[in-house]
Chain A
Amino acid sequence: MQQSDFEAYREKLNCSFKQIDECFEDYVQDALRNLSNEGVDKYLAGASRICMIGRGWEPVSIYLEEMPVMAHKLGEPILEIVSTIVWELSRSPNGKAIPPFMQCLPEASRRLGTLEQMQNFFKILDTMVDETTTSVHGHHKTHSSQGFLVLLEHIPYLLSQLSLEGLKNWVEYGTRNYKTHPERQKDYFSLQSADSKAMLQRERHGTLFMDHERELDMFLRAMWEDESFFVPYSLGFDELRKPAPYFDSLGIRIPDVYDDFDDDSGFVSGIDRYRVTIAHIAAHRKWSGILVADNLSPFQRIAAEHLEDSRVEYLMLKQYPGLRKHLLALHPVPIEGDCDNEKESCIRHRLAMLSRAILDENHVYKNEYVLASVEKFHQAMANGESSTEEMRDIAISFITRTRLQSDQLPKMHFENTVIDYRDDNRHMWVFIEENDEAEDFDDQRQKKADELEHEGLPPRHYAEWDYASNSFKPDWVSLYESVHPSGNSSDIDAILDKYRDLAKLLKQILDRLKPQNMVRVRYQEEGSELDLDVAIRSLIDYKCGSQPDPRINMSHKNDGRDIAVMILLDLSASLHDKPEGSDQTILQLSQEAVSLLAWTIDQLGDKYAIAGFHSDTRHNVRYYHLKGYSEDFDDTVKGRLAAMEAGFSTRMGGAIRHASHYLDAQQADKKIMLILTDGEPSDIDVDDDQYLISDTKKAIDELSSKGMYSYCISLDKKADDYIQDIFGPGGYSVIDRIEKLPEKLPLIFTSLTS
């Protein structure tokens, strides 16, 4: 390039940092190679613009360095888009984010590949910044976005795990939930908080274990006649030490997600990768023995493991030859001579070659020791299943023959030696000598966990529906179940006595209650319909001269009543209120009503359970067991009813979900959940009224999709605003005169079920 041309370009770049001058020539040449003339002009104009924002030379140099290649790949419009975004960032409180933004661009463009995808990506970032940049006292956008910086730092990792769609969902979730909590926002976007990880896991691309658990369970059972638990572990968060699959008495540990494997050596879908891993482990469980580890050196052990892996795979392929193509694709192909004996330890490389050579008949290895051991291996396998011990012997001789001084070097050659579908073979070894490592600690911790367990039931976690995102928040609510404390059972007897007259009236109604279930009664002399089969038979008998059967009619009758009821009581603090014109609190009235209802259902002989709930934020939903299905309405139950207490708030969704799992387990034709509440769902950690209402509605929808009915009895006079949304038309009644509740409730129930 002529010096004059070069100077002409330099003049177009309106930027006077010294550091830029040093490399400018390279930049321009790079640009000329990759861009059109017009593009070069745009490129220099963009760089000038970034220079003008006054954030030092660094953003400019990143721009100059990275943009030509990026523009070549994505198209030249990207030049202007990026400079515009940087310009806008510099005019906002988020100026600090410019360098990390520039730094994440190359990786993002590599992952995303097209201009359109990049634009979508920018849009996601833009929305996020816009939402999280807060203003104080009405000043327009004064505080910088707390999450944006950390988000940009994690972009390369996030894009390696998520599709753009997934990234969008993940970012939107964080923005929506932590907009107003700067610290939690940071935790979320730096992948520190638990729900950040949970959301990430849900949006991951690849084959999730959770979606295929049953299928894999059946795979193990059908093809290996084996049974075990699967315990998934996450690969996402342990950067330094990647966990490997393994199994022990507690189950088989496998990754929670496998991406499709697509390489020059072949394509293996995620589900097939699971199958291969599980097949390998199952083969170990079937054929592997246990060796004493103490007498072997670490090298001998790792060699024995490799050969044992090869042996079980050999046996596995004999049975299921179709798996071979997956193994060939997944097993790395170490290249002979790739590892430099002088500079690094080649032990893994040699063993991987050996393993490949055993698996792949068409290998091209020339190493005599490898070939000799392959030969030995096949000889051993020729006579049946061989054994773990025999493999150990081959391994020891292989190690002895190929031993090199450099094996001890600290620099290990790892490339193309990691066979990631194999487990870590911890099951192969027993150690006779106790080592004094950290096991004691583990024991103690176990003990502590056991002790904790005795204090009460562990919390159950339920998802909650977020109508804003149309998705469930995973494990959002922690619900603690406990038996309600007991009180004086005679109080309930007194209530029943007080309502003696009502009880009599109820009794009459109950007697008249018609049970359900139509059954056909055949062989009736008088009935509603003619039973044709019997009639013809009688006619034939009559014609033959034998005694005809006169019972040729049939009728229908109702028989049986098979109902299971779950009564769910809202025990929130508002129950302490006294309704107008009554000298009893709502709690007392509910208590009376429930006692009468229980008595009524008991008379009818239906199965029923009673439970109460209240909540104090999503971390503490209390669920009180008052009566179980198998308990009688006796003094114990009455005692619990008598001690009913109210407090805290009404987070209904979790309680309904928990109650429904009990109801669902009942064997009955009809399952009804009766919910008695005095107000709309609410909790102190939720500002948005609509949120808990929509979650409750979702819980009710889940109920009906499982074939259970729900019915709400609301004591809230203003309930009309929301109750139909939740329970649907005909799924509720609002009781205006609360003092009538004890009379109304049993009547509502009987009319519901008759």
Chain B
Amino acid sequence: MTDIDIEQYKVTEEPFYSAQDDEVAMYEAAYDARLPVMIKGPTGCGKSRFIEHMAWKLGKPLITVACNEDMTASDLVGRYLLDANGTRWLDGPLTTAARIGAICYLDEIVEARQDTTVVIHPLTDHRRQLPLDKKGELIDAHPDFQLVISYNPGYQSLMKDLKQSTKQRFTGLEFDYPDTKTEAGIVEKESGTDAETAAKLVKIAHTARNLKGHGLDEGISTRLLVYAATLMSKGIDAKKACRMALVRPITDDADIRSTLDHSIDSIFG
């Protein structure tokens, strides 16, 4: 098991991250104590970027798993595979992380089925162990190992919620879209656009976020703003870029579309 290439999981270049609050210090404290962390927030507000940034800052490898509803426990911990000589055990990402001492980041954890999520329980309390019952092995987690999960309470349905027993194993950080100034700064930095355009884009995002729950499930995310600004830097007309990047992806509702189109026209003048 020593032949795992740890370097491939390392984050080598500093990912740009602009702190919204004191979340960096709080995360560092949690990591220091190896406490599991849960990150909540709407889509595209910078959850994954934050984790990448922290992994880089701490110099730890990062293993990311995007969860989906077909994922089973063995997709996380590993399974026996059939091969020519019979069977062979293959570690899952969670097992790998526990062995090499990586930060394991389970993105959108609620998408996974509830019976899948319980396999992380022994890793997240005082035991810090992962039993591989099929293989008959009990792994003690590497001292550097930490588990991070993220989820988006926005489109959480009644069916998709974490069990209390899972929730209560984590410390939580709540993210939201950054304040106007920070967000404009992020858009400016990420796309290389000018400050005025960035501020206008943020204003458009705010109009859409006001409609959340009134026909829109989610507002326009910071990520989409960056896309819009990037399109503009490729020489696309500002209003057209906004329509393409900000409006068309998030709604099929004609009324909302025309409201947002109008807000773009009003703001870009």
Contacts and interface: CB of A to CB of B under 8 A. Distances in A.
Contacts, number: 68
Given A221-B211, A222-B211, A215 B269 contact: no
A323 B263 CA distance: 9
A543 B87 contact: yes
Contacts of A212: 255
B265 A214 contact: no
Contact of B82 (A215, A218, A321, A540): A540
A544 interface: yes
Interface residues of A, number: 25
A539 to B, nearest CB: 8
Interface in B190-249: 203, 207-208, 210-211, 214-215
Interface residues of B, number: 26
A539 B134 CA distance: 13
A85 B87 CA distance: 99
A223 B265 CA distance: 12
A275 interface: yes
B259 interface: yes
Given A218-B215, A218-B259, A541-B134, A223 B266 contact: yes
A320 B266 contact: yes
A219 B269 contact: no
B214 A221 contact: yes
Contacts of B266: 223, 320-323
B255 A540 contact: no
Given A540-B79, A543-B87, A546-B134, A218 B214 contact: yes
Contact of B265 (A215, A322, A543, A544): A322
A322 B267 contact: yes
Interface in A548-570: none
Interface of A is mostly: helix
A543 to B, nearest CB: 5
Interface in A297-349: 319-324
A368 interface: no
B80 A218 contact: no
A511 interface: no
B207 A222 contact: yes
A275 B82 CA distance: 66
Contacts of A544: 80, 86-87, 134
Contacts of B167: none
A222 B260 CA distance: 8
Interface in A215-234: 215, 217-219, 221-223, 225
B86 to A, nearest CB: 6
Given A225-B210, A320-B267, A322-B269, A543 B259 contact: no
B65 to A, nearest CB: 20
A183 B260 CA distance: 51
Contacts of A222: 207-208, 210-211, 259-260, 263
B81 interface: yes
Contacts of A221: 210-211, 214
A97 to B, nearest CB: 46
Interface in B92-136: 134
B80 A540 contact: yes
B255 A218 contact: yes
Contact of A218 (B87, B256, B268): B256
Given A324-B269, A544-B87, A546-B134, A219 B210 contact: no
Nearest to B268: A322
Contact of B263 (A223, A539, A541): A223
Contact of B262 (A219, A541, A546): A219
A321 B199 CA distance: 14
Q: Which of B203, B208, B214 has the most CB of A within 10 A?
A: B214
Contacts of A540: 79-82, 87
A532 to B, nearest CB: 13
B258 interface: yes
Contacts of B82: 539-540, 543
A215 B255 contact: yes
B118 to A, nearest CB: 17
Nearest to B210: A222
Contact of A215 (B80, B259, B267): B259
Nearest to A321: B269
Contacts of B79: 540
Nearest to B133: A546
Contacts of B203: 319
A631 to B, nearest CB: 27
A639 to B, nearest CB: 39
A161 B208 CA distance: 36
A218 B211 contact: yes
B215 to A, nearest CB: 7
Nearest to B207: A222
B207 A223 contact: yes
Contacts of B80: 540-541, 543-544
Contacts of A214: 255
A549 B211 CA distance: 51
Contacts of B255: 212, 214-215, 218
A271 B81 CA distance: 63
A61 B255 CA distance: 55
Most buried by B among A271, A321, A539, A541: A321
Contact of B86 (A272, A320, A321, A543): A543
A546 B135 CA distance: 9
Contacts of A271: 258
A720 B200 CA distance: 67
A223 B205 CA distance: 10
Contacts of B256: 218
Contacts of A219: 259, 262-263
Interface of A: 212, 214-215, 217-219, 221-223, 225, 271-272, 275, 319-324, 539-541, 543-544, 546
A-B pairs, top 6 by smallest CB distance, nearest first, are A321-B269, A320-B266, A322-B266, A222-B207, A215-B255, A322-B269
7 contacts: A215-B259, A219-B263, A275-B262, A320-B266, A320-B267, A321-B267, A322-B268
Given A218-B256, A539-B82, 5 more contacts: A221-B211, A221-B214, A223-B259, A319-B267, A321-B268
